[in-house]
Amino acid sequence: MARLFGTDGVRGVANSELTAELALDLSVAAAHILGEAGAFERPADFDPRATFPTDPKLLGDEPAARAEVLVDEPRAAAIERELGAAAVVRRLPDGAVVVEVPCTNLDAFRSWLFGLGEHAEVLGPAGVRSAVVEWLQAMAGAR
């Protein structure tokens, strides 16, 4: 979601989650500026928290897709705190963990994954892993 909306400059922060509420507020502001006066009015009873998932990796129409990600020891504890102990699929002797992560929204998933830098690797499913590899190759070739 953060990649789709590109609001880091608007929010004054970088590489942090974009909430559904802020996304809605930004779209309302854009409608007021770019649209005709009164063209859009936020319904008084609309609650974005009830409409959108709290995790942008879950946004989308597909069933809740999940990926297994290997996270190296330097980031393992932080990721376990972020995702919860139930997300840990297995613990490795070197302190790394394999976690199950939502990936319905591949843009949000990639953003989360790349935030871990060299400390994470998508293990599967194969389609998610290949989508990440293809995106990286396209970015490297764009230089």
**Is the pLDDT reported for residue 37 higher than 60?**
yes
**Domains contained in the chain, CATH given:** 2-51 (no CATH), 56-141 (3.30.70)
Q: b/e for 7-44, b at 16 or more Cβ within 10 A?
A: beeeeeeeeebbbbebbbebeeeeeeeeeeeeeeeeee
Separation of CA 93 from chain center: 28
**pLDDT the model gives residue 106:** 87
Cα separation, 91 vs 124, in Å, equals 17
Helix 106-114 to helix 126-141 angle (10° resolution) is 70
Return the pLDDT at 74: 94
Quick one: pLDDT band at residue 4, thresholds 50, 70, 90? very low
Task: Say what the pTM is.
Answer: 0.64
Q: Enter the tokens of residue 29.
A: 């502001």
In this prediction, residue 16 has a pLDDT band, given cuts at 50, 70 and 90, of low
